[in-house]
Structure 1
Amino acid sequence: MPLPRPAPGTGRWWVVGIVGIGLASALAVWLGLANSVGRVTWVDTGYKVVDDRSVRVEFDVHRPSGEAVTCQVNALDQSFGVVGTLEVRVPASSEKSVHQVVVVRTAARAVTGTVKTCDPS
């Protein structure tokens, strides 16, 4: 079964539409990369509730080499309320990725620990 042909005179609009979609896609990729390259990012890799007053949090920090970073680590209770917080300074080094393990002291029993933010110092 042959494919239907576009109406005469509409081929130009197909070309304009395809070029427009291509340019919009390229712009979206460029903006995404421009906003993420060279920025500080982090990944929570684990946590363990040690006891009623502390939780151990593990995370990786990815940053430009030679840049110091300060991260805020929170311990949360079962209703996601903050029961403990700790500021962790990750010193500058030549490594772009650094693994951190910290213990957050809590006011009540925590059920999880997570990194809230990491910003350049």
Structure 2
Amino acid sequence: MPLPRPAPGTGRWWVVGIVGCTIGVALATWWGLASSLGRVTYTDTGYKVLDNRSVRVEFDVHRPDGQAVTCRLKALDTTFGVVGVLDVDVPASSERSVHRVAVVRTASMAVTGVVDRCDPVGQGR
């Protein structure tokens, strides 16, 4: 069974459409990579409620070589209200990824501990 052919005179528009889509995909890929490479990222790896006044938070920080980072940890209650906050400094080193453990003191019983954000030193919000 032969494939259908485009109507006469529409071949040029098919080429324009394919080239336009290819350029759009290339630009979207470039923009996505450019906005994420070299940025500080973090991963929550665990938490443990120690008692009514503290929660232990474990996390990994991924950053460019030699970049000092400050991470803000939060302890949350059952209604997702913040009951404790701690800023943790991660000093500059040659390691791109580091694992940290910190204890967040709380005003009341927490049910979870999370990393709110990690910012390069001198670029906090």
What TM-score does the superposition give when structure 2 sets the normalisation length? Answer: 0.93
- Report whether the alignment pairs 1:118 with 2:121: no
Which consecutive residues of structure 2, in runs of 5 or more, have no partner in the other structure?
none
CA-to-partner distance for each residue in 1:75-105, whole Å, 9 max, x for gaps? 0111111000000000010000010011101
Fraction of identical pairs, as percent: 74
How many residues are aligned here? 121
Q: Give the equivalent residue in structure 2 for 1:66.
A: 66
Q: Hey, what does 2:84 align to over in structure 1? A: 84
Q: Distance in 2 between matches of 1:2 and 1:51?
A: 74
- CA–CA separation in structure 2 for the residues paired with 1:110 and 1:26: 46
Q: What root-mean-square deviation, in Å, do the aligned CA atoms of Structure 1 and Structure 2 show?
A: 0.8
Q: Give the counterpart letter for 2:32 in structure 1.
A: G
Q: Shift of residue 50 of structure 1?
A: 1.1
Alpha-carbon distance between aligned partners in 1 of 2:3 and 2:74, rounded to the nearest angstrom: 60
Normalised by the size of structure 1, how large is the TM-score? 0.96
> Tell me, which stretches of 5 or more residues in structure 1 are unaligned?
none
Secondary structure, aligned partner of 1:25: helix
